[in-house]
Copies of this chain bind each other. A is one copy, B any other.
Amino acid sequence: MSNKPIGLLDSGVGGLTVLKAVKNRLPDESFVYIGDTKRCPYGNRTKDEIIRFTLEMVQFLMKKNVKMIVIACNTATAHALEIVRKKVNIPVIGVVKPGSVAASHKTETNNIGVLATVSTVDSKFYVQSLLKQDEKIKVKSLACPEFVDIVEKNAYESKEAKELVANKLADFKEKEMDTVILGCTHFPLLTSYIQETLGENITLIDSGSVTSLKVEAVLNEKKLAGNKNHQNTINILTTGPEETFREIVEKWLETKAFAINQVTLERLEDTNEKH
């Protein structure tokens, strides 16, 4: 039993989709969420930058005395998950494997689509992860960096967003494809437009909700679950301006019971020599 908070990190607001899923599944837990809005999007950053930024957020969360870290960002998971695991002595969960496992269970045609950032697509981490589940799986990936931008600027319910998704995904679906992984935590905020464009027969895999199952399993396994009578808190931090972030949190988490503050991350030296 532990009443310490669960830490989540993301490049910006996208990881809130994971926070929402975990919070709904585990209402007795406290959370510290750090979104690096100032440097978002990570999807167009170099691998070394992504690793350093992620480690800076990990260092920040460790000072908050978290009992577990969820890398609620596909790009950061793809490049930094194993490095983070070596650095800290608490459980670290990424969003790629839970999504891959769920998709491989769901597909009947072994034909899976992945929508992600440039960097996640380039890393081939989803392809590897899916092939580990079943080597017969065929994967078609598409980098959709524009989706991140429109979500970060809180325009994910706009007509502009609807058209952007429709244009971008017009030719994405192939005949055999029956399952599509939303391989960036920003994309669940565009779910309705994505579903509309790809059609009702496509199953969308939102890594947030499958990751929440993994978080619950690890808490139980490690005996780290929070006490039911615990007074839980949601502590949201951003490296960028608070206002847009606050609006998205309120709308997306459907609660006002959170604190939000702007913080500065301590800079780490370049980490390239260490891995």
Interface residues of A (CB under 8 A from B): 3, 63, 230-235, 237, 242, 255-264
**Is the CB–CB distance between B232 and A257 below 8 Å?**
yes
Report copies per complex: 2
- Give the complex CA separation of A233 and B231 in angstroms: 11
**Is the CB–CB distance between B231 and A257 below 8 Å?**
yes
Known: A230-B256, A233-B256. 8 other contacts (CB 8 A): A3-B256, A231-B255, A231-B256, A233-B233, A259-B261, A261-B261, A262-B263, A263-B263
CB distance from A259 to the nearest CB of B (A): 3
- Give the complex CA separation of A256 and B2 in angstroms: 13
Chain A binding site: helix, strand, loop or mixed by DSSP? loop
CB distance from A260 to the nearest CB of B (A): 8
CB distance from A245 to the nearest CB of B (A): 13
CB distance from A241 to the nearest CB of B (A): 10
**Is the CB–CB distance between A257 and B233 below 8 Å?**
yes
**Is the CB–CB distance between B237 and A261 below 8 Å?**
yes
A233 contact from B258, B263, B264, Cβ within 8 A:
B258
Provide the residues of chain B in CB contact with A255, threshold 8 Å: 231
A259 contact from B230, B235, B264, Cβ within 8 A:
B235
Provide the residues of chain B in CB contact with A242, threshold 8 Å: 63
Provide the residues of chain B in CB contact with A258, threshold 8 Å: 233, 259
- Give the complex CA separation of A235 and B230 in angstroms: 18
List 21 A–B pairs whose Cβ atoms lie within 8 Å, in order of A's numbering.
A3-B256, A63-B242, A230-B256, A231-B255, A231-B257, A233-B233, A233-B256, A233-B257, A233-B258, A234-B259, A235-B259, A235-B260, A235-B261, A237-B261, A258-B259, A259-B259, A259-B261, A261-B261, A262-B263, A263-B263, A264-B264
- Give the complex CA separation of A3 and B261 in angstroms: 18
Provide the residues of chain B in CB contact with A262, threshold 8 Å: 263
Provide the residues of chain B in CB contact with A235, threshold 8 Å: 259-261
CB distance from A56 to the nearest CB of B (A): 15
- Give the complex CA separation of A261 and B258 in angstroms: 13
**Is the CB–CB distance between B259 and A233 below 8 Å?**
yes
CB distance from A221 to the nearest CB of B (A): 25
CB distance from A272 to the nearest CB of B (A): 29
CB distance from A88 to the nearest CB of B (A): 19
Q: For A262, give the chain B residue with the smallest CB separation.
A: B263
Provide the residues of chain B in CB contact with A233, threshold 8 Å: 233, 256-259
CB distance from A156 to the nearest CB of B (A): 23
Most buried by B among A231, A232, A235, A255: A235
Closest 10 CB pairs of A and B: A259-B259, A231-B257, A235-B259, A261-B261, A231-B256, A233-B259, A233-B257, A231-B255, A261-B263, A264-B264
